[in-house]
């Protein structure tokens, strides 16, 4: 009903406009978009710079030619190598193999002739605080179960910005009855073993779950996605992020967060004896918690992206294309950082 009312209001507003809107008469200035996300999450860090075209006033794209970029880490100039991948001289990409460390102060800048100079800075945060965690699977009526993770961690007292995602390790061992094609004699084949690791998709907790977060309800974001040109599978890792800034005071200097994920656990052993074929499969599962600590600038950027995609106007296809947060002086984009750590693997017995 709420969506229907919103559509009616939008249509009413559109019908009530008596003056035509000529987009060709709108003017604007070209700006520079710059993104640099230092982290220990990858071997190479990408620096993106692009000259942006105004809303109207120009029909041809603004080219990013002759640009100069610079990154300083703790005051020392960092060596960047230009990546050959670009789109018609619009998006320019630079890379560095420098291994960023917690506490590094990063300053990034870019200059595009005829447009101007932009700059931004951030500090690589410390790793996620000392923590303990537990996880349990709740069976649902469907084949997809819910995995709940309860995280308790130290409070550094600085209003941290955090994230978490659960990794599932699956090991399958199976053996099937086979038959000789010439004699028809049946025999058991070789025992086969396969393994794989997957990041579990986050899901929102509901009231029926009977759980409440000690901080704000976590939202989902894809931190690694924003530092890659290629659409590699790992870049699609959705992480649940939250902030301690507006949450109540911690208890005994400890914070608490509960997150939920979708997971599928098959029975430990399945025997197949339906008369057509015989065999068995055993499943073994382990879980790992991946924890993030974000700089304030990058958390605000990720949250702004989330808000722009999750609102009533977005559902109607009317959300603005631009984001509402940037810490780039004189331009747009973000210079933010994060660190990531991995817990030990646990079994849910």
> Are 245 and 313 found together in one domain?
no
Decide: pTM greater than 0.85. no
How many angstroms separate the CA atoms of 176 and 87, rounded?
A: 51
> Are 273 and 300 found together in one domain?
no
Write down which residue in 294, 316, 331 finishes a domain. Answer: 294
Q: Is residue 20 part of a domain?
A: no
Domains of the chain: total = 2
> Are 255 and 138 found together in one domain?
yes
How many angstroms separate the CA atoms of 318 and 323, rounded?
A: 13
> Are 184 and 272 found together in one domain?
yes
Range of the domain at 218: 131-294
Per-residue confidence (pLDDT) for residue 315, from 0 to 100: 54
CA 307-242-314 angle, 5° bins: 10
pLDDT in tens, the chain (349 residues): 445 444 444 444 444 444 444 444 445 678 899 999 999 998 889 999 998 876 555 556 677 888 999 999 999 999 999 987 666 677 899 999 999 999 999 999 999 998 899 999 999 999 999 999 999 888 765 556 889 999 999 998 888 999 999 999 999 999 999 888 888 888 899 999 999 999 999 987 765 454 544 456 788 888 887 666 555 566 568 899 999 987 777 878 899 899 999 888 888 898 988 767 789 999 999 999 999 999 999 999 999 888 876 666 555 555 555 557 899 999 999 999 999 999 999 998 6
> Are 55 and 204 found together in one domain?
no
How many angstroms separate the CA atoms of 321 and 63, rounded?
A: 20
Write down which residue in 263, 278, 294 finishes a domain. Answer: 294
> Are 83 and 135 found together in one domain?
no
> Are 190 and 218 found together in one domain?
yes
Which CATH number do you get for residue 33? 2.60.40.10
> Are 248 and 149 found together in one domain?
yes
> Are 315 and 171 found together in one domain?
no
How many angstroms separate the CA atoms of 47 and 34, rounded?
A: 7
> Are 110 and 253 found together in one domain?
no
> Are 39 and 119 found together in one domain?
yes
> Are 74 and 40 found together in one domain?
yes
């Amino acid at each position: 009903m709420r969506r229907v009312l919103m559509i009616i209001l939008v249509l009413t507003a559109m019908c009530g406009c008596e003056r035509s809107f000529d987009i060709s008469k709108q003017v604007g200035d070209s700006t520079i978009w710059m993104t640099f996300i230092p982290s220990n999450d990858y071997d190479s860090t990408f620096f993106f710079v692009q000259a942006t075209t105004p809303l109207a006033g120009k029909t041809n794209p603004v080219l990013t030619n002759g640009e100069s970029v610079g990154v300083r880490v703790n005051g020392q100039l960092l060596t960047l190598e230009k990546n050959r991948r670009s789109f018609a001289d619009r998006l320019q990409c630079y890379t560095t193999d420098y291994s960023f460390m917690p506490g590094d102060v990063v300053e990034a800048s870019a200059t595009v002739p005829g447009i101007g100079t932009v700059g931004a800075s951030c500090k690589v945060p410390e790793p996620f605080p000392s923590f303990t965690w537990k996880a349990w699977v709740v069976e649902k009526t469907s084949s997809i179960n819910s995995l709940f993770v309860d995280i308790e961690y130290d409070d550094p007292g600085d209003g941290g910005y955090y994230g978490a995602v659960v990794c599932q390790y699956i090991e399958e061992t199976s053996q099937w009855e086979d038959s000789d094609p010439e004699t028809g004699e049946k025999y058991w084949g070789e025992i086969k073993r396969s393994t794989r690791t997957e990041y579990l998709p986050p899901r929102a907790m509901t009231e029926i779950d009977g759980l409440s977060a000690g901080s704000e309800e976590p939202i989902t974001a894809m931190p690694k996605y924003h530092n890659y040109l290629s659409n590699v599978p790992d870049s699609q890792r959705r992480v649940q992020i939250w902030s301690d800034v507006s949450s109540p005071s911690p208890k005994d200097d400890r914070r608490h967060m509960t997150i939920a994920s979708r997971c599928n656990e098959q029975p430990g052993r399945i025997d197949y004896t339906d008369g057509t074929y015989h065999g068995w499969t055993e499943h073994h599962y382990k879980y790992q918690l991946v924890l993030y600590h974000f700089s304030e600038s990058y958390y605000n950027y990720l949250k702004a992206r989330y808000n722009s995609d999750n609102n009533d106007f977005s559902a109607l296809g009317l959300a603005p294309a631009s984001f509402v947060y940037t810490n780039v002086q004189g331009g747009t984009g973000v210079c933010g950082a994060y660190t990531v750590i991995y817990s030990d693997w646990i079994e849910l017995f």
